[in-house]
Structure 1
Amino acid sequence: MQTVNSAFQECDQLVRDFEKVIAKPLIKKSNVYYTGIDLGTAYIVLAVLNENYQPVAGAYRFANVVKDGMIVDYIGAIRIVKELKQELEEKLGTELIFASAALPPGTFTLDSGAIKHVVQGAGFEITKLLDEPTAANAVLKIKNGAIVDIGGGTTGIAILKDGEVIYVADEPTGGTHFSLVIAGAYKLSFDEAEQYKRNPQNHRELIPVLRPVIEKVSSIINRHVQEYSVKEIYLVGGTCCLAGIETIIAKQTKLPTYKPQNPMFVTPLGIALNCTQEIQ
């Protein structure tokens, strides 16, 4: 299926702008800065926007502090977020105060307190806590369809009707499972498999190896969308960077499946777009 839809033009431009400021931050004074914190299973991403909600800086780091959407290394999470915060503050020459964060759908009662404490423990004032697919839609601006966020540990699904989220679900299966399959197939350690997976030059040969896991993700999607008149699927999350994943999901679900050019940064940017100066 196609990877760049006309609906993604604004999204892709925002992501391109963010990729540029990760490499070279915009050192132009802003009255306020808004930070989005994405605590992923594989990566922790910080996205910083200025007073006009335009990207000015960003940083990310591979981390093992979250498993299946839940924080398992609380101290480690605080340490990494604090270090990334300090790194960006030094580059921008200012203190970052306000932040928003997100968590997989359906986990608010289980983990919202932990995520809030991580953000505060790193030195931020938290202003918004929302679910990841809703955050992603702040960038995608989808009116109807299913947003599927395939992260490192879980697959989150949000079904939208007339721009409103009417159903959310989250199930364990994501990039971690992809890496475990690669490790087994190629006799690699888990970390080596992670590195191998991240190299786009290996994606073509990995697709047949990973097809059973992608089909499992597709079956999860099918199970959750079957009761709703979903016409299209939109993919986000770092695991969706795998070239060709959208083609298999489209074939298995029999639904048009789209993904932006870099699905890894959609949710962090959406989290940042939801940040305000009103402390919760």
Structure 2
Amino acid sequence: MPTVNSAFAYCDQLVRDFEQVIARPVRSESSVYYTGIDLGTAYIVLAVLDENYRPVAGAYRFAHVVKDGMVVDYIGAMRIVKELKQELEEKLGRELLYAAAALPPGTFALDSGAIKHVVQGAGFEITKLLDEPTAANAVLQIRDGAIVDIGGGTTGIAILRDGEVIYVADEPTGGTHFSLVVAGAYKLSFEEAELYKRDARNHRELMPVLRPVVEKVSSIINRHVREYPVQEIYLVGGTCCLAGIETIIAKQTNLPTYKPQNPMFVTPLGIALNCTQEIL
């Protein structure tokens, strides 16, 4: 099955630009800045775009403030977002006012208030809350297929038809479960397993160990897409950085499965692309 797609040209260029400004922020003459805040189970990511929605700065931090897609440490989440906001403001020499955020699909009724208060408590005016796969599609620009966001705690699925989301789902299996398997197999602490898993040099060795978890994710995808005429799967989320994950999912689902060059930053950039100056 193929693992690359020319449709990712815009996505991959945007991510490359973002990776560059994380290291070297751009002090532009922009009249406004738009921030996307991705509160993940493993990482909190802030992506900042200028008035023309081009990346100018970004930052991320490993954190345990979200579990299974839900905020479990409200004060910790607010503190980290506030610290990252201040860090980026110092680098840009400008105040960041507007931000958008996202949630796993199907969790709006349970957690939208908490996410909103985290963003506001960090000093932003929140302008939009959307589900994570929809945010990712602002970058992927997929018309038809399934976007699968495998994050730290959950796997979110959005099925698109003619560019519109017609179905969303979210289940609690993600990178945390991968790390637990690594910890058990190698007799490591959870934190040590996280670091070991994130090192791309270990991915070939880890794949046989992690294959059962990848197959479980594949079964989740199968269960949610079987009632729809899905022809292709598109992977995003930090857990998809695992080399070879797309090959196993393609084999298990019998569907062409693609992922961009760095799937970790697709969703936060999509969130930022949805930010406006209209207060929520």
- SS of 1:130's equivalent in the other structure is strand
Structure 2 counterpart of 1:167: 167
- SS of 1:12's equivalent in the other structure is helix
Q: Give the C-alpha shift of residue 29 in structure 1.
A: 1.7
Matching residue's letter, 2:21: V
| Residues 119-153 of structure 1: per-residue CA shift (max 9 Å, x gap) | 00000000000000000000000000000000000
Structure 1 counterpart of 2:132: 132
Q: Say if 1:3 and 1:261, in contact at 8 Å, map to a contact too.
A: no
Q: Give the C-alpha shift of residue 4 in structure 1.
A: 2.5
TM-score (norm 2): 1.00
1:209 correspondence with 2:226: no
Cα distance in 2 for partners of 1:64, 1:261 equals 25
| Residues 186-207 of structure 1: per-residue CA shift (max 9 Å, x gap) | 0000000000000000000100
Structure 2 counterpart of 1:226: 226
Structure 1 counterpart of 2:260: 260
- SS of 2:279's equivalent in the other structure is coil
Q: Give the C-alpha shift of residue 28 in structure 1.
A: 1.4
Matching residue's letter, 2:173: T
Structure 1 counterpart of 2:45: 45
Q: Say if 2:147 and 2:235, in contact at 8 Å, map to a contact too.
A: yes
Structure 2 counterpart of 1:176: 176
Cα distance in 2 for partners of 1:249, 1:274 equals 29
Cα distance in 2 for partners of 1:231, 1:59 equals 35
Cα distance in 2 for partners of 1:70, 1:252 equals 29
Task: Tell me which stretches of 4 or more aligned residues in structure 1 moved more than 2 Å.
Answer: 1-4
Structure 2 counterpart of 1:86: 86
Deviates more, 1:171-180 or 1:2-11: 2-11
Structure 2 counterpart of 1:30: 30
- SS of 1:32's equivalent in the other structure is coil
Q: Say if 2:3 and 2:247, in contact at 8 Å, map to a contact too.
A: no
Cα distance in 1 for partners of 2:28, 2:12 equals 23
Q: Say if 1:38 and 1:267, in contact at 8 Å, map to a contact too.
A: yes
Q: Say if 1:183 and 1:193, in contact at 8 Å, map to a contact too.
A: yes
**Aligned-pair RMSD on alpha carbons?**
0.5
Q: How many residues align?
A: 280
Q: Kindly, what percent of the aligned residue pairs are identical?
A: 87
Unaligned residue ranges in structure 2 (runs of 5+): none
Q: Say if 1:153 and 1:174, in contact at 8 Å, map to a contact too.
A: yes
Cα distance in 2 for partners of 1:2, 1:257 equals 7
